Amino acid sequence: MKNNKINSFGFSTLLLSLSSSAFYGTFSSYIIYKTKTDSFLTIIIGFIISLLLSKMVLHLFNKYPNKTYIDRNKLNNISIILYIILSIFTYILLSLRLSVFLSNQYLVNTPNYIILLMILFITYYTSTKDIVTITKVSIITSFISIIIFIFDFISLVPEINIENYYPLFITNPKDIIIASLLFSIYFTTPIVFLNTFKKSQIYDLNNYNKYYYIMMITSVTIIILNIFTTIGVSGYSVNNLFDYPVYTTLKRIHLFSFLDSMENISIMLWILFIINSCNINLFFIKSIIKDYYKISQKKNNIIHFILLIISFLISIFVFKDEFNESYDYILIPTIISILLLLLQFISNIKDRLKS
């Protein structure tokens, strides 16, 4: 029976991709633009808030190992709709952002929709597998990503100019608060996805909290050090000129003189995170629909495929190719995440009152 289950470590690695995927191509430039050299303070405050939110969600995670969050909530239809909308929007924004990046930087003569179709096909195929396969892929990509990150960080440290970190505390406190709250919601959203999964399928559930916090700390460490090198190498004012500040910073890597364009290897970190995160989003959409509506696997695959087509059409006809990193593009996922967290908070309060 153990072969049909997963372990806590593998399941927790999903958090690394979900919490890091949007940072490189979207949230990094937003944080730097809004809070400048105070980006470190913003992320630390946001991380502390996310720890408090995560503790609340983990309480439900551990209290009902045989049920999903959707099973527990009385407002099932609303929860289902919110989960699916959040998953679809997250999937669209990540896959579209990656396709636009690849089109602009590497495949300039290839239409964006062709690259997007390739991403959709890869992620759809992987998402049709079971949770064991998803976690195995996640473990492999997590280890590769961490190795790439360590290489990048060591390579960029000599390029850092300490003067780029000054002056400090120049950001309006209101901007710091808003950016910190957005980061905390963005960073807590992954566990909302994970909480749709029946934890009874994890054979060492008692270790999950430990691995969850390890992955959470690992993820925020990668994010903070990325901000540290991005601002330290170029300064926040220069980074604001670029659509992909982290990628632009990676171009400064010159560790091996016989290799050109090392940033093309380093950017695999972001690509792996996004592909894996898209896999997870599609997988949980399929799982939610199947568990709640009790439909056959064949019907579920058809619905799954239709949702994928809808995502593609929205990406092509609703969003512009010039995917500007602004508050507007993260507003809808943030609002939905807040609503889901509020529903979980209400559920948590009801459980405490009953006990």
Q: Cβ(76)–Cβ(196) under 8 Å? A: no
State the average pLDDT over residues 37-48. 90
Q: Is the pLDDT of residue 67 over 80?
A: no
Confidence of residue 69 (pLDDT cuts 50, 70, 90): low
Weakest mean pLDDT among 31-45, 182-196, 301-315, 318-332:
318-332
- pLDDT on residue 45: 92
- pLDDT on residue 68: 60
Q: Where are the beta strands (DSSP E) in 59-164?
A: none
Q: Percent of the chain at pLDDT above 90?
A: 2
Highest mean pLDDT among 124-128, 211-215, 237-241 belongs to 211-215
Between 322 and 139, residue with greater pLDDT: 139
Q: pLDDT of 2-19, one tens digit each?
A: 555 788 898 888 888 888
- pLDDT on residue 349: 63
Between 333 and 54, residue with greater pLDDT: 54
Average pLDDT over the chain, rounded to an integer: 78
As a whole number of angstroms, the distance between CA 350 and CA 355 comes to 9
Domain that holds residue 77: 2-354
Weakest mean pLDDT among 157-171, 222-236, 296-310, 316-330:
316-330
Distance (Å) of CA 40 to CA 74, 227, 230, 231: 40, 7, 12, 10
Q: Is the pLDDT of residue 1 over 50?
A: no
CATH number at residue 57: 1.20.1740.10
Q: Is the pLDDT of residue 245 over 80?
A: no
pTM: 0.83
Phi and psi at 6, nearest 5°, equal -125, 165
Q: Is the pLDDT of residue 279 over 80?
A: yes
Confidence of residue 104 (pLDDT cuts 50, 70, 90): confident
Q: Cβ(212)–Cβ(51) under 8 Å? A: no
As a whole number of angstroms, the distance between CA 99 and CA 115 comes to 6
State the average pLDDT over residues 236-250. 74
State the average pLDDT over residues 19-41. 81
As a whole number of angstroms, the distance between CA 102 and CA 319 comes to 17
Distance (Å) of CA 9 to CA 82, 123, 149: 28, 22, 20
Domain count along the chain: 1
As a whole number of angstroms, the distance between CA 97 and CA 94 comes to 5
Q: pLDDT of 295-329, one tens digit each?
A: 787 888 888 888 888 888 887 777 654 444 445 55
As a whole number of angstroms, the distance between CA 276 and CA 175 comes to 31
Q: Cβ(196)–Cβ(70) under 8 Å? A: yes
Length of the chain: 355
Angle (nearest 5°) at CA 186 between 185 and 187: 90
Phi and psi at 202, nearest 5°, equal -95, 115
- pLDDT on residue 267: 78
H/E segment holding residue 285: helix 268-293
- pLDDT on residue 297: 77
Highest mean pLDDT among 1-5, 28-32, 146-150 belongs to 146-150
State the average pLDDT over residues 117-131. 86
Confidence of residue 89 (pLDDT cuts 50, 70, 90): confident
Between 233 and 315, residue with greater pLDDT: 233
3-state secondary structure of 6: strand
Confidence of residue 65 (pLDDT cuts 50, 70, 90): low
Confidence of residue 184 (pLDDT cuts 50, 70, 90): confident
